[in-house]
């Protein structure tokens, strides 16, 4: 008498079907993930610009500096939280571009810091010009 046992393993077709479904989900989700990542980078840079703007104002008040006085990033560091990423950034954003408005990394009292052109262009698909206002 033959004892026929049924196999309890998955067939190759079933495994390929599951892999195909997972691949389809990844293809659908990946663009949204990448867009969300770029949007969060833009939000981080915008927040850093706001923090720098406040630090410039505080520096000017504490040191009695007038309009258009140039300020180095090192002068602003004591007005930034010591454990923050911006404190250790040397005045550069996530992409390594200097915060403006001056390309040499200096800031001016009563002048709003600006997002760099390279960073703006890199993030323009998720953060249009009105997103950066007044920092562009």
Residue 51's pLDDT band, with cuts at 50, 70 and 90, is: very high
Alpha carbon distance 7, 100 (integer Å):
68
- Residues 52, 77, 119, 115, Cα dihedral to 10°: 30
- How many residues does the structure list for the chain? 136
Rg of the chain over CA atoms, in angstroms?
26
pTM of the model: 0.79
Question: Between these two residues, 106 and 62, which has the higher pLDDT value?
Answer: 62
Alpha carbon distance 80, 61 (integer Å):
15
Structure tokens at 78: 């004591």
Alpha carbon distance 124, 76 (integer Å):
28
pLDDT at 100: 73
Domain assignments of the chain as residue spans, ordered by start: 43-132
pLDDT at 62: 94
pLDDT at 5: 66
Alpha carbon distance 86, 78 (integer Å):
12
Alpha carbon distance 55, 47 (integer Å):
12
Check the CA dihedral 52-96-134-109 and report its sign: positive
* Mean pLDDT confidence for 32-52: 95
Residue 105's pLDDT band, with cuts at 50, 70 and 90, is: confident
């Amino acid at each position: 008498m033959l004892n026929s046992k049924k196999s309890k393993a998955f067939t190759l077709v079933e495994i390929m079907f599951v892999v195909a479904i997972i691949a389809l989900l990844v293809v659908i989700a990946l663009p949204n993930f990448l867009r969300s990542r770029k949007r969060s980078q833009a939000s981080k840079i915008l927040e850093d610009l706001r923090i720098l703007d406040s630090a410039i104002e505080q520096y000017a008040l504490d040191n009695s500096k007038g309009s258009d006085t140039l300020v180095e990033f090192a002068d602003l560091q004591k007005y930034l939280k010591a454990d923050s990423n911006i404190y250790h950034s040397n005045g550069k954003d996530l992409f390594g571009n200097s915060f403006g408005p001056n390309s040499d990394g200096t800031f001016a009292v009563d002048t709003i810091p600006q997002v760099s052109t390279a960073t703006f262009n890199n993030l323009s698909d998720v953060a249009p010009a009105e997103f950066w206002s007044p920092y562009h």
